[in-house]
Amino acid sequence: MKTSNQYFTPQQQPLAERILSGQRISEHEALTLFSDFSIPQLSLLATNRKRFASQDKVFYNRNIHIEPTNICVYNCRFCSYRAKSETDGYILTAEKIVEKISSVSGNITEVHITGGVHPEWGIHYFAELLKKIKHSFPQVHIKAFTAVEIAYMCKIDNLGIAEGLNILKNAGLSSMPGGGAEIFDELVREKISPEKPPGRLWLDVHREAHKSGLASNATMLFGHIETRAQRISHMAALRDLQDETKGFNAFIPLKFRNMDNRMSDIPETPIIEDLKTYSIARIFLDNIQHLKAYWPAVGRDFAQISLHFGVNDLDGTINDSTSIYTRAGSNESPAMTTTELQRLIAESGYIPVERDSVYNEV
């Protein structure tokens, strides 16, 4: 068996040793990983940290993604999904949503709901939707609404965040996804999503959710105009909040895709930069157990490779008929069977494990 000094230079050795022994690294050290460590070295370190978290298991679940509308009060420059005109907008009624879930209900454990931020829909509108879903499918876990959506719903109904979350929770909300975080750096945020609430509001909503017993995920939109340092500082804000609340289940880096949006002139990052970002996320976020590659966004091939760079979760079967990521340039058809997911994981040398929405093994 090789020792770490056969893989790392004498300059790299102290940092590598600290990572291999499970110690926390600083933002400066994370930047050193970007600049001074090779892809095989990062793979080795991230795989070691991943085994700390979940041995050789890679998780997936059976879910359906529902987007109630693409009408949105905001107009993020990277968004390929928002309705561009009145004729391009759609709305799924509660009945239509229940019908969609019915078509797969025997095969799923989770309904995942996010979408555009509709100008008129508040907390009470969505509470009614959740109640209807729960009435028809009492066994499903509802993971719903980004922090941005929740903040806006509360504003519409003149409620505080904690109060709004409580109403949604009583109506059937079981956990929250991690979308809308983008990049917390305010200067970047102003350029890519100028109308959206600041990053600190995203963090406040998740803090309140965790306090009320709702687990959530966290995302980061990377590979556009942000620097590596801004990526690391985004992750540092998440790591700090996780130290405080322990409410995040998974971190999901989302690669910026450049088709059909107002940032199409920005080239997408090369795969090597993506793999570095995933592996450094695994090493830096030592208190968030799961690192997810959201396969409809990154593609099945990348998702499979990412399992060797710290990823231990591939999300699920998705069944997303509105195709948020296909619109943004992903080549994926947004549905995968459990057999395909299991094969993809096993081919990569890992053990496929079905999970529920809060990572209990099914």
In angstroms, rounded to a whole number, what is the distance separating the alpha carbons of residues 352 and 60? 7
Q: Residue 82 interacts with ligand SF4 (CB under 6 A)?
A: yes
> Which of 42, 45, 101, 148 touches ligand SF4 (CB under 6 A)?
148
Tell me: does residue 116 bind ligand SF4 (CB under 6 A): yes
Task: Tell me if 76 contacts ligand SF4 by CB under 6 A.
Answer: yes
Binding to ligand SF4 in span 46-75, by CB under 6 A: 72, 74-75
Token pair for 346: 């096993």
Indicate the SS3 state at residue 342.
helix
Q: How far is the CB of 117 from ligand SF4 (least distance, A)?
A: 5
Question: Considering the rule CB under 6 A, would residue 168 count as an interface residue with ligand SF4?
Answer: no
Q: Does residue number 156 form part of the binding site for ligand SF4 (CB under 6 A)? A: no
Q: How far is the CB of 22 from ligand SF4 (least distance, A)?
A: 36
Tokens of 30: 């994370």
> In terms of C-beta density within 10 A (0-12 exposed, 13-18 middle, 19 or more buried), how is residue 138 classed?
exposed
CB of 85 to ligand SF4, least distance (A): 14
The residue among 15 and 328 lying less far from ligand SF4, judged by its C-beta, is 328
CB of 146 to ligand SF4, least distance (A): 7
Q: Which stretch binds ligand SF4 (CB under 6 A): 78-86, 126-134, 286-294, 309-317?
A: 78-86
Rounded CA separation 347/309 (Å): 15
Tokens of 144: 């719903």
Question: Is the separation of the CB atoms in 333 and 325 below 8 Å?
Answer: no
> 129 to each of 10, 23, 126, 141, 183, how far by Cα in Å?
59, 45, 5, 14, 30
Out of 117, 129, 151, 218, the residue judged to bind ligand SF4 by CB under 6 A: 117
Distance separating alpha carbons of residues 311 and 59, to the nearest angstrom: 10
* Residue 151 lies near ligand SF4 (rule: CB under 6 A): no
And the tokens for 226? Answer: 């942000």
Angle between helices 27-36 and 271-284 (to 10 degrees): 150
| Residue 192 engages ligand SF4 in binding (rule: CB under 6 A) | no
Chain contacts with ligand SF4 (rule: CB under 6 A): 72, 74-76, 79, 81-82, 116-117, 148, 193
